[in-house]
Structure 1
Amino acid sequence: MIAFSRQLRSVNLSQCYCLSSQVLRPLVTMPANQLQTLILYGCGKMDSQLMVDIIHRHSTTLQCIRLTDINDAIMEAIGLCRSLRDLGLEHCASLSNAALTRYFQSCRQLTHLRMRDISHLSSHHVRCVAESSKTLHHFDMSECNGVNSSDGFFCLATECTSLDTLLLAYQTGVTNQAMQLFLSHCHSLKHVDVSGCRLLTDQAFLSNHVSLETLNISGLDLLTSDSIQQLLTRLGSLKELCLGVTYDLDEADRILNIINQEQCKFFIDTERCYTICRTPIHTRELDIPP
């Protein structure tokens, strides 16, 4: 199918675990600099030299690359893609510290970056991203256990101020001060996930961030119910607040009863990990007594 698609611009074979490298060989023989999107999440057993050849073949046009379990040679090839805006990497155990440093020191054009379970990723690399990728809008990092200090996040918050999406689930280096810096410097921030960042307390969310629309705080055991209530009342743009399935449902109902005394402003969706959702305005108007 790939071989006969003359106008092929995008390849998304995410989670196709049984694919062989042979399937992708037509991408090397098709016209050069035609492919714009290459997504192979879950396809970590592809021949690495073939992947390098594909990326080299389309280095001028590739704008989105998302891969699993890559090595240094593939990372070097990605570094030649000057039109790349969106990069996603996951489960990369063999990707070296040096290769990560070389790439992140020169990734000036990125707007979207997702990294999951990158063994050698460190706070130093987060600083490199912050210093070179000031155009970032979307930053997603999870299960990167080597990022265990907050220094990189401090730099990211103060340098990448155009961020609108910040996803840092289960990152041990996320502290109150780091969260405060993100909320005070990134004025376009709309979506935040700090689930499992267990160092965070009420102090992390003191800012009246006017643009925040979704916030995931599941697993934050140090966050008090008073703080959750204040978030719901202070943040006028907040549409969803995820508490997580381990949160006390009775306590969540108590918070909502207080907030909804005069009008049904929020409800809880138990099928979405106990997410408190803002009631649509037209629905609230129906609840107003004559």
Structure 2
Amino acid sequence: MKQNPILIPEISHILCSFVDAKDLLNLALTCRALYHTSCFRLWNTLNPKSHRILRKIKNTLDHTSAYNKYVWKFCLSSKQDIHHLERFFFDHFLFPNLRELKFSNAAAQDHILYPMIASAQKSLTSLNLSKCYCLSTAVIKPLLSMPPHQLESLVLYGCGKMDSQVLVEIIHRHCRTLKRLRLTDVNDAIMDAIQHCRKLNDLGLEHCSDTTLSGASLTRFFASLSKNQVQLTHLRLRDIDSLTCQHLRVIAKSPNRASLVHFDMSECNRINAEGISWLATECINLHTLLLAYQEGLFIQNCHQLKHVDVSGCRLLTDHAFFPLLDAVDDNLMKITLETLNVSGLDLLSPSLIYQLLSKISSLQELCLGVTYDLDEADNILHCINHHDDQQRYYMDTEKFYTICKLPFNKTSLIDSGRKRSTLYLHLRHYHHSLDGIDDQDIEHTTTTLPSPSTWNLPSL
């Protein structure tokens, strides 16, 4: 007698992949063969978006542990306020096969997260505890009893209470598998331990004073990157007191510099225009460059640059952007810039803002910041929408006064004579704000926003 194909796990997984999440529960009740596969798909990823959903999950787990084994990924963001939850709320959130745990919440305590991590020691590969400011070293000690070289991602942004020696031991224990590492307030010992992570492609360090992290330690680290041919793609060095232009030069001369696509060195006060120039000239594959509160800008040499943040660089004037505009006028290179954050740059003229929007066709979002003169922004919008028959822009106030290009080109969408109430448009309700659009046009309109701004990019 031939085996029923549905009983083959691979086939049942394929069948369930075509079923909508809302119908998986009904599918689970049809037969035993599809029950486990449907439950796995229902419980595989838990990412509660509200307290109502979170409490429903708790109520289910309180009455049965049958579903705990199906959970591979659990995420709880900082948007969920857990202050008012009872102390033992998460006692049954123990998932033995958990692979990824992301718990980013300022109210998180050791008694919540320690049992979760300890119960998933044999399977956990990714741990993100960013913005959990109240945690102590005890919560990450289970990582030392995990099988060696298992952890692939460790994010501890904001966890400044962690013992440095424990972090060093964790990094050494998993150095062969760690690909992502993001830490706050590291010292020389931690930096030297990171040198042994040969597969590292995503490194983030923030708020490191020169009394704990020395320039010599950074020099040794960047030299080891070149020697070991580490392919870093994302590098975030935010508010690092000991970072200098010489370190940028080492990065720029590294044989693996072409792999770098995202670089954030905001608030590094010892960086000057020369160091940024080396970086921009040599790292030609950079897509994202975040230079908040820096002095210089040399983006004309980065042919592939898509996202730039120069917010707070108060010394920048129109002249800093002239080379970019000249390159566009002379067709010297293809500009792919999509988002630009110039908030806090009080010396920029409205004329330059207009030129950036009108000449750089790829530009989707330009952030002016909440302190920008709204009358000036209104005039810029009026001019660009009045003179350009193809591209239409609106102001998104929820993105800190960002001028955005509409996700579709309709010359009749915005009347150039409209008042500010129409120009300051929110996508979720602009179908009600715009006149003269047929229902048929709305039905066939793509309503996705342009690419994410620099402030909405994955945090490093």
* TM-score for both structures, normalised by structure 1: 0.92
250-259 or 121-130: which moved more?
A: 121-130
Within 5 Å, which residues of 2 pair with 1:83-162? Answer: 83-93=199-209, 94-107=212-225, 108-132=230-254, 133-134=256-257, 135-147=259-271, 149-162=272-285
Distance 1:271 1:124 in 2: 39
**How far did 1:14 drift?**
0.7
2:159 to 35, 43, 55: 43
Deviations 1:148-188 (A, max 9, x none): x222111101111100001100013x1xxx42xx22x2211
Secondary structure of residue in 2 paired with 1:219: coil
Aligned length: 282
The equivalent position to 1:202 in structure 2, one of 318, 324, 331, is 318
Separation in 2, partners of 1:158, 1:287 = 40
Q: Please say which of residues 280-289 and 109-118 is displaced more in the overlay.
A: 280-289
Matched, 1:270 2:397: yes
Residue 305 of structure 2: aligned partner: 189
Q: Distance in 1 between matches of 2:349 and 2:216?
A: 42
CA distance in 2, matches of 1:136, 1:118: 19
> Does the alignment pair 1:280 with 2:395?
no
Query: Pairwise mapping of residues 189-268 of structure 1 onto structure 2 (< 5 A)?
Result: 189-206=305-322, 207=324, 208=328, 210-261=335-386, 263=389, 265-268=392-395
CA distance in 2, matches of 1:30, 1:40: 18
Question: In structure 1, what is the equivalent of residue 73 of structure 2?
Answer: none
In the aligned structure 1, how far is the partner of 2:411 from the partner of 2:139? 54
Matches of 2:186 and 2:413, distance apart in 1: 54
> Which of the residues 100, 117, 121 maps onto 1:2?
117
Partner Cα separation in structure 2 for residue 192 and residue 40 of structure 1: 25
Separation in 2 of the partners of 1:248 and 1:19? 42
CA contact (8 A) 2:385 2:414 kept: no
Provide the C-alpha distance between the structure 2 equivalents of 1:286 and 1:81, rounded to a whole number of angstroms.
53
1:285 to partner: Cα distance: 5.6
Whichever residue aligns with residue 346 of structure 2, its letter is D
Instruction: Measure how far apart 1:105 and its partner are.
Output: 2.2
Which of residues 197, 204, 207 is equivalent to 1:81? 197
How many angstroms apart in 2 are the aligned matches of 1:271 and 1:111? 30
The structure 1 segments of at least 4 consecutive aligned residues displaced by more than 4 Å after TM superposition are 282-290
Secondary structure at the counterpart of residue 2 of structure 1:
helix
- 8 A Cα contact 1:63 1:84, kept in partner: yes
The structural deviation recorded for 1:44 is: 1.4
Question: Which secondary structure state, in structure 2, belongs to the residue aligned with residue 142 of structure 1?
Answer: coil
Q: Residue type of the partner of 1:143?
A: E
Percentage of matched positions with identical amino acids: 59
**1:11, 1:224 → 2: CA distance?**
45
- Structure 2: state its 5+ residue gaps: 1-115, 329-333, 416-435, 438-460
Q: Tell me which of the two structures has the higher relative contact order, counting C-alpha pairs closer than 8 angstroms and 6 or more residues apart.
A: 1
Shift in Å at residue 20 of structure 1? 1.5
Q: Give the alignment of 1:168-187 within 5 angstroms.
A: 168-172=291-295, 174=296, 178-179=297-298, 182-183=299-300, 185-187=301-303
More helix by share: 2
User: Is the Cα–Cα contact under 8 Å of residues 163 and 189 in structure 1 kept in the other structure?
Assistant: yes
| Alignment-derived partner of residue 14 in structure 1 | 130
CA contact (8 A) 1:127 1:151 kept: no
Mark the CA change 1:131 to 1:17 in structure 2 (over 3 Å): closer, same or farther: same
RMSD: 1.8
**What do the CA deviations read for 1:106-144 (whole angstroms, capped 9, x no partner)?**
324211011111121112112222222512100011111
Structure 1 counterpart SS, 2:386: coil
* CA gap 1:73/1:251 in 2 versus in 1, 3 angstroms: same
3-state secondary structure, aligned to 1:82? coil
Question: For residue 93 of structure 2, what is the aligned residue in structure 1?
Answer: none
What's the CA shift for 1:287?
Answer: 5.3
- Deviation string 1:77-125 (CA, Å, 9 cap, x unpaired) is 0011000000000111110110011112232421101111112111211
> Which structure shows the bigger proportion of residues in strand conformation?
1
Is 2:168–2:190's contact at 8 Å kept on the other side of the alignment?
Answer: yes
Specify the code of the residue in structure 2 equivalent to 1:157: A
Aligned position for 2:33: none
Per the TM alignment, residue 222 of structure 1 is displaced from its structure 2 partner at its CA by 2.2
Q: For the Cα contact (< 8 Å) 1:123–1:152, is it kept in 2? A: yes
Using the TM superposition, give the Cα deviation of residue 286 of structure 1 relative to its aligned residue in structure 2, in angstroms.
4.6
User: How far off its partner does 1:202 sit?
Assistant: 1.7
